[in-house]
Amino acid sequence: MLREDPRFELRATAAWALGRIGGEEAESALREARETDADERVRDAAERALAAIREIR
């Protein structure tokens, strides 16, 4: 969903969820979204999710 859904709202929500789940696969997907998503709101959500994962550690 993070990579393919055309709706930015769902991609941003997926980023948030991955930030709550954590783990290597989530971090990888979030880094990719942060660097490649066409929508700034999704990139911001991915960055916030990555920050949340770092806080948990």
Q: How far is CA 23 from CA 9, 26, 50, 54, in A?
A: 23, 5, 10, 11
pLDDT tier for residue 56 given thresholds of 50, 70 and 90: confident
Please tell me the distance from the alpha carbon of residue 36 to that of residue 10, in angstroms, as a whole number.
16
Q: What residue ranges do the domains of the chain occupy?
A: 8-56
In the predicted structure, residue 15 carries a pLDDT above the cut 90: yes
Please tell me the distance from the alpha carbon of residue 37 to that of residue 40, in angstroms, as a whole number.
7
Sign, Cα dihedral of 33, 25, 11, 15: negative
What single letter denotes the amino acid at residue 19? G
Global pTM?
Answer: 0.94
